[in-house]
Chains A and B, each alone.
Chain A
Amino acid sequence: MIERQYDHPDKIYVQVEATFYPDGRIEPKSFLWDDGRRFDIDRVTDVRRAASLKAGGIGTRYTCKVLGRTAYLYREEDKWFMERR
């Protein structure tokens, strides 16, 4: 059985560049927003499992500093998504 995916306008799947460390940690470095702009992640300040009510999903949530602002990046098994602002 394969898990069915749900599409929602507030759930944006994004392309991510990340570093995979030998100890298994994954650190996202940048992401490609749906308008084609690439954003660098300056710092990851928190990593935990969390639910996104707005986008409708759960995953490992990376709290990222991007251009001085806070953005949440969620890793849902093998895909990454963000909430539309």
Chain B
Amino acid sequence: MSPKERVILHSDMNNFYASVECLHRPEIRGKAVVVGGDEEARHGIVLAKNYIAKKAGIKTAETLWQARIKCPGLIVVPPNYPLYLRYAKYAREIYECYTDQIEPFGLDEAWLDVSGNDGVMVADEIRQRIKAELGVTVSIGVSYNKIFAKLGSNIKKPDATTLVSRENYQAIAWPLPVGDLLYVGPSTQKKLYWQGVSTIGELAAMPVDCLQRLLGKVGCVLHAFANGLDQSPVARLSQESLIKSIGNSTTTPRDLVCDDDVRILLFVLCESVCARMREQGVLSRTVAITVRDSELFSVDRQAKLKAPSCISGEIADAAMQLFRQHYTWHQPIRSLGVRCTDLVPAGGLQQISFFDDEVNRQRREALERTVDSIRNRFGHSSVQRAAVWADQPLGSINPKGDHVIHPVGYFKDGMKA
């Protein structure tokens, strides 16, 4: 190993929600258990399952009534997100004993850069501590890049360490189905399948220009992923933003004097807030705005959203409505802020697609994720909303770039096409 070789862990809590529930409810241990979203609202789905439920053939995101048919006597418990957030915090406190370079990925996963250490030893120690201190198990992948580390954590479960090294990656990672790779969703998988590519090894062997023709830019990224060439650093991301709220505010380049000015700026702010929510894998249920006028008098108002969201159009509409209700234009405006609170993890919930409206929302979200990835590659100003063009000085503010130090290119469940 060269001295500059990175040592990266990917730690993944096994059956996270279900494991936490089983620890806290001794009476349901040893039975088939799922954590299910909102059963009253017809579309209740399986958010997480324990191994016994998995053995019965129950799948994440299927409806609760389907799950019950497969497994009579199935125990369904509602999610307890504040408890899961507490777990995420405790897990992070353990990780922090080994490194300050920690990038959470949803609530139950994180990358850790522990370069300079024996990765397998650190991983085994973390596993033991999590089992003893948190009462749940983790699987940890150890590798020299984030992609292989993530593959590794998925290979042996529960409570196991898997090393994917330069020496063994062809034997360990290459036989895996190509769908196990970050960014490879059903549509990409299908395209690859028609080219005779069904494993990561076959993807790795494909010439990069073929992949680019087939998949566009993401083809190059996947080629690098499959060959262990990914260089992206483990971002130093705090758990705080996961737990409390995600917001952005800005002092305007000129005073705002009318509703149209405010709408432009709200769009810019909401886009950045929503991009950050998608990075963190959360949805918001409450939107708050802060308005300060030219006398520096400020108004702070919030409202519930109809459904948890990370779609900037929806958040901006709610923010605009709040603004209209509560601001009377007695003074021009000096600064404006949008904050999304009441956060819930995005896992599973957006996969419901019974209603046309929901399909439509998913499309909008997918579109915004695409914009995120374009901006991450080519800069914030590479894609702009037409509305934002109406006023260059207002529209050209890049609130995300001004606040986030590490652009992060991976989204939980995101970018999969």
A residues contacting B by CB (< 8 A) are 1-4, 6, 8, 10, 48-58, 77
Contacts and interface: CB of A to CB of B under 8 A. Distances in A.
B390 interface: no
B27 interface: yes
Contacts of A4: 78, 80, 82-83
Interface in B15-38: 23-27
Contact of B25 (A2, A51, A56): A56
A49 B133 contact: yes
Contact of B133 (A1, A2, A50, A54): A50
Interface string B67-93: 000000000001011110010001000
B81 A1 contact: yes
B52 to A, nearest CB: 17
Contacts of A56: 23-26
Given A51-B133, A53-B135, A8 B86 contact: no
Contacts of B41: none
Nearest to B78: A4
Contacts of B133: 48-51, 58
A3 B23 contact: no
Contacts of B307: none
Instruction: Determine the main DSSP class of A at the interface with B.
Output: loop
Given A6-B24, A8-B25, A50 B132 contact: yes
A58 B90 contact: yes
A4 B344 CA distance: 15
14 contacts: A1-B344, A3-B80, A3-B82, A3-B83, A4-B78, A4-B83, A8-B25, A51-B23, A52-B135, A53-B23, A56-B25, A57-B23, A58-B23, A77-B86
Interface in B57-111: 78, 80-83, 86, 90
A56 B83 CA distance: 13
A55 B90 CA distance: 19
B82 A1 contact: yes
Nearest to A4: B80
Contacts of B80: 3-4
A45 B292 CA distance: 55
A57 B342 contact: no
Contact of B342 (A1, A54, A55): A1
Contact of A51 (B27, B81, B132, B342): B132
B257 interface: no
Given A1-B81, A54-B26, A56-B26, 19 more contacts: A1-B82, A3-B80, A3-B83, A3-B86, A4-B83, A8-B26, A8-B27, A10-B26, A49-B90, A49-B133, A51-B23, A51-B132, A51-B133, A51-B134, A52-B135, A53-B23, A56-B23, A57-B24, A58-B90
Interface in B226-253: none
A8 B24 CA distance: 9
B26 A2 contact: no
B82 A51 contact: no
Given A1-B81, A49-B90, A6 B132 contact: no
